Amino acid sequence: MSLDLRVFAYENFLEFIVWTVRERDVGLGALSCYRSAVQSLYVDQGVDLPEPYDSDMKVV
């Protein structure tokens, strides 16, 4: 099973990150891994990576 990137938008990922930070005890390393995993899915599925994943996510 994989994320459907036609439905799972950047905003959904941000919501997930905010929820994770508030509800779980995770470090920056885990958050970075989540971002890398989603970026990898874009490559694997042949979908262009939205710009915010390269710029915005570095400041979240």
Name the residue ranges covered by the structural domains of the chain: 12-58
pLDDT tens digit string along 1-59?
Answer: 788 888 888 899 999 999 999 999 999 889 889 988 998 999 999 988 888 877 766 55
**Residue 39: CA count within 13 A, CB half-sphere:** 13
**Residue 32: CA count within 13 A, CB half-sphere:** 5
pLDDT at position 51: 83
pTM for the model = 0.75
Q: Which residues contact 28 (CB under 8 A, 6 or more apart)?
A: none
Return the DSSP state at 34: H
pLDDT at position 54: 72
